[in-house]
Amino acid sequence: MDGTEARQLCERLRTLINRGRGKGLNALREALRIVGTLRRAAAPFPRARLTAIAEQLRPWFIVSDGQEESDTAGLYVRDWLMEDITMVEKTWKPRSAPGLSESDATKRPAETSGPQPHV
């Protein structure tokens, strides 16, 4: 997944969150589906941030009895979600190619192309 696709999914996630707190299971499922798609395609750092996002989605979309949809804690959750989504966008890197470790994907081509001639 390239950066453009990742940004589009992040924007869809923001749109779901901006519909408001307490939108229920359907909104939660859609948001988790988006986060899952991004996590499968992400390098380790964005993936870790996406895990944090996934953990905060339930308190945002599922409001317990006795909680108000606009309570202060809920507004903090929304702010954290938006900050984390922005961080994912700014640090987006796709997962390495199949068969390569994460460290191999960050090496320069000369480091992974086999034996080097002696000079």
Taking the model in full, what pTM does it have?
Answer: 0.75
Is residue 107 assigned to a domain? no
Is residue 119 assigned to a domain? no
The number of angstroms, rounded, from the C-alpha of 68 to the middle of its chain's C-alpha atoms is 27
Is residue 16 assigned to a domain? yes
Is residue 113 assigned to a domain? no
Is residue 109 assigned to a domain? no
Is residue 22 assigned to a domain? yes
Assigned token pair, 9: 């999914």
Is residue 66 assigned to a domain? yes
Range of the domain at 48: 3-96
Is residue 47 assigned to a domain? yes
The number of domains in the chain is 1
Assigned token pair, 51: 């895990």
Three-state SS at 92:
coil
Smallest CA-to-CA distance from 105 within 96, 114, 95 is with 96
Kindly give the confidence (pLDDT) of every residue in the chain, 119 residues in length, as a single tens digit, with 9 standing for 90 and above. Answer: 999 999 999 999 999 999 988 888 899 999 999 999 999 999 999 999 999 999 999 989 988 766 665 677 778 999 999 999 999 999 999 998 454 444 444 433 343 344 444 43
